[in-house]
A and B are shown apart, each in its own frame.
Chain A
Amino acid sequence: MSAAREMLCDTARAVFAEAVTAGIAPVEEAGFALLLVPEADGGFGGDWGDVNAVLQIAGVIIPDLPVAALIASDALQPAATVSLMAGAMGQALVLSIEHVNTRHQFGRPLGKFQAVQQSLAVMACEVRAVEAAAGALAARLDAVGLDPSAAGFEIAAAKLRANRAVGVVTAIAHQVHGAIGFTREYDLNRVTIALMRWRGEQGNDAYWAARLGRQVAGLRGRGLWEALTVR
């Protein structure tokens, strides 16, 4: 990550932490709405790579606040949601790993049980896939100057992939946490409920699968590969 983006992320973390109790106001005041606005127009001149990084943090710290709507246009909301989902899934994994390494049962940490290790490996693969999808989508949006129609393929593929990961990630996160993860006071539900909500927002699985499928059918078999590799 570039130094500038790291600074941006540090700022986002501090502002979002304040926003947890104060609502959206601190985020608005910090000027995140200007992130994508060019410097010449008084904005910060950021790119979608920056948005992706900031929204991943938002997905962890303030999943309930409408940060994405503040930064991105309506047409880019599905892409913004993918970034939020990547962040929330990463957090579900972090919490799960911490829990199984701390919680002892049957005389050893849960994480030492092979069955638990295998479940978390499956979960980590899903999280990694969504992070990669969000990163690749960001790269595409930046390459086409944030034109949503030129990134239609990537938006559909990334949102669909993120949606499909939700079931696996939320199920395993709650399973390895046991009852504590199902309480209101423990942090896990903040991200898992948000993930369940985001799966259905900005296009559910059926919507994007049908849309992407029809688009690809128009390319024909060889055309799909050619379309993938010109990007």
Chain B
Amino acid sequence: MQGFALYPFDPPGDIGALRAELRAWLAVNQPQGDIVARANCWASFDADFSRALGAAGYIGMTLPTRYGGGDRHPLERYVIIEELLAAGAPVGAHWIADRQTGPLILRYGSEEQRERYLPGIARGELYACIGLSEPGAGSDLAAVRTTARETAEGWRVSGQKIWTTGAHFSHVMLALVRTEEGSERNAGLSQLLIDLDTPGITIRPIIDMAGHHDFNEVFFDDVLVPHGALVGTRGQGWQQVTAELGLERSGPERYLSSHALLATLIDAAGADPDPAVAVLIGELTAEMWTLRQLSMSTAAKLAVGEDPMVEASVVKELGNAFEQEMPRRVQAIVDCPWDDPGDLGRLLRALLIASPSFSLRGGTREVIRGIIARGLGLR
């Protein structure tokens, strides 16, 4: 390996002014959410906030204006996203639609699909979920068994998706389905945009060990979907999905979603911290600063139209490890009872419980390391 090229993070315009503008907007519009909700804010649902954020022009920023977007540079969007996460803003409702579904529809979707979905996404009113995982498949995305059979009246979809984040409040699912009968692995797959109010769809909640309802099971019982629901090219679903995953794996959410814990630890430690706590803060800060550089470089590579599959995986691997270790290391150093009612105690407990999921969502650690190993020429 010749070393990774570092892409300069060089957004157009006055970035300082853009940050200041959003910080001022958040000071007025961000709900006074609980510290625990702020900590994992990209899973916090707040429809009013999403609508206000969309009206202010901070959703769908990179979409063309003719679809209601802002026609902004991807790195301007990056700056907005990191500010929202660092502030703990409740961005969960529109998160997936803004990050993945919107850009994918713009890239692969038909004109009809763009006109139908993109303006609602940019307004922060239309939410999406991703139909990849299936029962028994785990991280093996190519094990998709949900089928879509083309008939005279449309696609007939049958099967089941699982671990579908936000399906219970989403309007549409971008589903990976098997459209070629008898095809295997990553051949013969296509993507369909399925409106979730279509008859024959059943959504059942899965409550996680933190007591939250993020995940769902989604059942398709001979669901009739119009021909126009096909996204991109029939049979090219796998290629489209892997391009989409680059958007999912490299963003600032991979190291900033529990930023609130670090900020709260610093505030709790005071200006003259205990030496062991100072060392911990120093170590966590060095890691976060480095992750931010990696994430920005990856975003810059994405912005020039290259596919940072390996770099994105490095960000996810290191970012997940950081977020997972942070609550454990804080617990190991700071004396804080399990049911402590203070901000630090409640946040620590919530993140300790949530942290096992960090290296599962968006591809398990082992799969991500396999992608990196392929990038190293080992597979």
Given known contacts A209-B278, A213-B285, A214-B273, A117 and B317 CB-to-CB distance under 8 angstroms: no
Contact with B along A192-231 (1 / 0, CB 8 A): 0000000000000110111111101111111011001110
- Residue in chain A with minimal CB distance to B79: A229
Contact at B378–A111, with CB atoms within 8 Å?
A: yes
> For residue A89, which residue of chain B has the nearest CB?
B3
A contact residues around B362 at 8 Å (CB): none
Contacts of B368 in A (CB 8 A): 121
Task: Tell me if B16 counts as interface (CB < 8 A to partner A).
Answer: yes
CB pair A133–B378 under 8 Å, yes or no, is no
Find chain A residues with CB under 8 A from B375 CB: 124
Taking CB atoms and an 8 Å cut-off, the chain A residues in 76-104 that contact chain B are: 90, 93-94, 97, 100-101
Interface presence of A135 (CB below 8 A): yes
Residue of A nearest to B265 (CB): A221
B6 and A157 contacting across the interface, CB-CB below 8 Å = no
Top 10 closest pairs, chain A to chain B, by CB: A221-B263, A213-B282, A213-B278, A209-B282, A117-B373, A212-B282, A121-B369, A121-B372, A213-B281, A136-B293
Contacts of A160 in B (CB 8 A): 282-283, 286
B366 at the interface (CB under 8 A from A): yes
Residue ranges of A at the interface with B (Cβ–Cβ < 8 Å)? 56, 90, 93-94, 97, 100-101, 111-112, 114, 116-118, 120-122, 124-125, 128-129, 131-133, 135-136, 139, 153-154, 156-158, 160-161, 164, 205-206, 208-214, 216-222, 224-225, 228-230
Contact B294 A132 (CB under 8 A): yes
Q: Are B372 and A125 in contact (CB under 8 A)?
A: yes
Q: Give the distance in Å from the alpha carbon of A230 to the alpha carbon of B279 in the complex.
A: 24
Count of inter-chain pairs, beta carbons less than 8 A: 166
Could you say which of A129, A209, A214 contacts B290, with CB atoms under 8 Å apart? Answer: A129
**Complex CA distance for A190 and B262, rounded to whole angstroms:** 38
Is the pair B286, A157 in contact by a Cβ cutoff of 8 Å?
yes
- B311's nearest neighbour on chain A, judged by CB, is A128
B287→A161 contact, CB < 8 A: yes
Are A117 and B379 also in contact (CB < 8 A) when A124-B1, A136-B293 are? yes
Determine if A217 and B1 form an interchain contact, defined as CB atoms under 8 angstroms apart: no
B-to-A contact residues, CB < 8 Å:
1, 3-4, 6, 8, 16, 19, 82-83, 86, 259, 262-267, 269-273, 275, 277-283, 285-294, 297, 311, 314, 317-318, 366, 368-370, 372-373, 375-379
Q: In the complex, how many angstroms separate the beta carbon of B310 from the nearest chain A beta carbon? A: 9
Contact of A97 among B262, B266, B376 (CB under 8 A): B376
Q: Chain A interface mostly helix, strand, loop or mixed?
A: helix
CB pair B289–A125 under 8 Å, yes or no, is no
**Chain B residues near A153 (CB, 8 Å)?**
289
Q: How far is the CA of A145 from the CA of B136 in the complex (A)?
A: 57
A residues less than 8 Å from B291 (CB atoms): 129
- A213 — which chain B residues lie within 8 A by C-beta? 273, 277-283, 285
| Complex contact A157–B290 (CB within 8 A) | yes
- Once the chains bind, are B293 and A121 in contact (CB under 8 Å)? no
Question: Which of B8, B83, B294 counts the most chain A CB atoms within 10 A?
Answer: B294
> Which residues of chain B come closer than 8 Å to A90, judged between CB atoms?
1, 3
Q: How far is the CA of A162 from the CA of B332 in the complex (A)?
A: 23
**Distance between A148 CB and nearest chain B CB, rounded to angstroms:** 17
- 13 examples of A-B residue contacts, CB within 8 angstroms: A56-B3, A97-B1, A118-B370, A121-B376, A124-B375, A125-B317, A128-B314, A132-B6, A132-B297, A158-B290, A161-B286, A208-B282, A225-B259
- Report whether B373 and A120 are in contact in the complex, using a CB–CB cutoff of 8 Å: yes
CB-based nearest A residue for B369: A121
Cβ of B282: which chain A residues have Cβ within 8 Å of it?
156, 160, 208-214, 216
Query: B370 and A121: CB pair below 8 A?
Result: yes
What's the Cα separation between A211 and B297 when bound, in Å?
27
Q: Do B263 and A210 touch across chains, with their CB atoms under 8 A apart?
A: no
A120-B373, A132-B294, A212-B285 given as contacts; is B16 within 8 A of A230 (CB)?
yes
Most buried by B among A136, A216, A220, A229: A216
Complex Cα–Cα for A121 and B259 (A): 25
Q: How far is the CA of A161 from the CA of B318 in the complex (A)?
A: 12
A55 → chain B, closest Cβ, in Å? Answer: 13
CB-defined contacts of B290 to chain A, threshold 8 Å: 129, 132-133, 136, 157-158, 161
